Amino acid sequence: MNRRTLGQKFARLATNAALRSSLLWRVFRPLMRKQFDSIASTWDQMRGPNHLSAYERALESVEPAPVQALDLGTGTGDGAFAMARRFPQARIVGIDLAERMLAEAERKTPPELRDRVSFERGDASRLAYPEASFDLVSHANMIPFFDELDRVLAPGGQVLFAFSGGASTPIYVSPERLRSELGRRGFTDFADIRAGEGTALVARKAKAA
C-alpha cells in the first residue's frame, strides 16, 4: 500500500473516530495535524482542477449573502478564496489544525483578497469564537463537529458541507448522517447538491424565536 492510500485510510478512520467520540478525536488530533503538515507542500498538486465544484455550486444556495464566514479545515485556503469571490462584502476566516497547510494558504492569498480573508490555527472541535459569530460555516472535505459549528453559527445562518469525490472522499460523512445530526439541532431548509464527482449539503439554523 503506498503512502497516499495509507493517508486516505487514516483520514477515513479519523473521521469515523471523531464522529463517534470527542475522546477518540483527542487521540487522533495530533496525528491528523502531523499528517497534513507532512503533505502541505504537495496538497494542491494532489487535487484535481474541479475539486471544489460541489462546494462552489453549494455557495449558490447561500442567501442572504454572509457578512462573516468561517471555512473550517481550510487547508491551503481554496474554499476561503471561493467564498470571498462569491461574496464580495464578506469577511472570511479559514481555520486549520496544520500550520504548514495554513502557511501555503497565506502564501497563495491573492493581494485583492488580503483585507477580507485571514487564516488562523485552531481546532474545529473547540473554536475560540463567541456564540453566533458567523452567518456561514463551511466545510470542504472536513470532519464536522456539530455542537461547535452550531454554537458559532448565528440563528438563521447556513452551514455547508462538500465532499470532492462524493462517498469515496477519504473524509466523508453521508447526507443521511448530516441531516440527522443537524435536524435534531433544529436545522431546516436542507439542499442536496451534486457537481461532477462531488456532493454537498447546505442547511439553515433555526431563526431566533
Q: Which residues bind ligand SAM (CB under 6 A)?
A: 32, 36, 72-75, 78-79, 95-98, 101, 123-125, 140-143, 171
Nearer to ligand SAM, 96 or 150 (CB): 96
Residue 44 CB, shortest distance to ligand SAM, in Å, is 8
Cα 154 to chain centroid distance, Å, stands at 17
Nearer to ligand SAM, 127 or 203 (CB): 127
Nearer to ligand SAM, 102 or 203 (CB): 102
Alpha helices of 40-174 — where are they, by DSSP H?
Answer: 43-46, 53-59, 78-86, 99-108, 146-152
Question: Around Cβ 167, how many Cβ atoms within 10 Å?
Answer: 11
CB 153 within 8 A of CB 159: yes
Cell readout for 133 is 459569530
Nearer to ligand SAM, 68 or 76 (CB): 76
Residue 207 CB, shortest distance to ligand SAM, in Å, is 27
* CB-facing half-sphere around the CA of 169: CA atoms within 13 A: 25
Residue 193 CB, shortest distance to ligand SAM, in Å, is 15
Residue 77 CB, shortest distance to ligand SAM, in Å, is 8
Residue 101 CB, shortest distance to ligand SAM, in Å, is 4
Please classify residue 3 by burial: count the beta carbons closer than 10 Å to its beta carbon, then call 0-12 exposed, 13-18 middle and 19+ buried.
exposed
Nearer to ligand SAM, 90 or 162 (CB): 162
Total residues found in the chain within this entry: 209
> By beta-carbon distance, which residue lies closest to ligand SAM?
75
